A = this chain, B = another copy of it.
């Protein structure tokens, strides 16, 4: 069997509890005693058993993150923020892909409860209400990231979708453009409805009529972006600008524009939501909004751990601003934007 605290205690000539105190630092131990214990640990290559300590102390130093999928950089950057913050505070994290499937989410939550995780961060689906209620009943500490389920009394950390849409739309207006089409996600999604609302409100505030033919909605995917932009280009009246409300849609849109031989910022101007990676990537748009995904993860876990640590705080809905990148190279198409973007 593996080396236990008892073995260390015997070797160091002290009681088991003394070894425990040296390891956890919960109470003072005489310098010389501490030395002896450390020496014994080293000699025996002792590794403390967290199952045992957790069972006794009711604390696992473990968190879980449930998100739609770990294969898209958007979610993954949130995950990275979560991990970095958790690690810096001595917590380990279980990552779980829900695929936006409430049943899968429920199964994971059951498993995670068994593992006695100290807290949970999750990107809920539209049907997560009952699960979250269950967590509240069990007094499990948790935080919602990126999306919120209405009526759930728990922290939310997310980006300002409405505000981001406002800024992007205004940039196009300021560039003198009026025929601005919208390409965005389903209105059943939080971001889909908020971004469309921001787009509409900005146009209205500028006394620009909203043309239903210029509003294209579809699932968040490259294929959809490709299809919707083709539809816009094949219509009788072509827009002179596009507001694309999602990075996946934007990639598909780019293909459609390239295929049509249109030069960006020349034949057509695009403002778009884009990915965190756009920072190191080439962003071909006039204006780009990047969501603070990493910060969503970090701040979410910071609040979660503060709560776990017993800090008193009110339930809050944190809305973080987007990072807005504006091209300053005078709209010259075909030129690298590596050095030509600036933050707003």
| Interface set of A (CB-CB < 8 Å, partner B) | 45, 47-52, 54-55, 60, 62, 69-73, 76-77, 79-80, 83-84, 92-97, 110-116, 138, 222-223, 226, 251, 255, 258-259, 261, 276-277, 280-282, 334-336, 338
Contact = CB atoms under 8 A, between A and B. Distances in A.
A50 B114 contact: yes
B76 A71 contact: yes
Contact of A115 (B50, B111, B222, B282): B50
Given A49-B116, A226-B338, A334-B261, A70 B60 contact: no
Nearest to A294: B71
A110 B334 CA distance: 50
Given A83-B96, A95-B95, 5 more contacts: A51-B60, A71-B76, A84-B97, A93-B95, A223-B280
A190 to B, nearest CB: 23
Contacts of A335: 259
Contact of A47 (B72, B94, B110): B110
A281 B222 CA distance: 8
Contact of A83 (B62, B70, B110): B70
B70 A255 contact: no
23 contacts: A49-B116, A50-B114, A50-B115, A51-B51, A51-B54, A51-B115, A69-B80, A70-B79, A70-B83, A71-B73, A71-B76, A71-B79, A71-B277, A73-B73, A83-B96, A92-B96, A92-B112, A93-B94, A94-B94, A94-B95, A255-B336, A259-B335, A259-B336
Contacts of A113: 47
A95 B83 contact: yes
Contacts of A336: 226, 255, 259
B92 A111 contact: yes
Nearest to A48: B114
B71 A80 contact: yes
B338 A255 contact: yes
Contacts of A71: 73, 76-77, 79-80, 276-277
Nearest to A83: B97
A131 to B, nearest CB: 14
A320 to B, nearest CB: 18
A178 B49 CA distance: 61
Contact of A280 (B69, B73, B115, B222): B222
Contacts of A138: 45, 47
Contacts of A277: 71
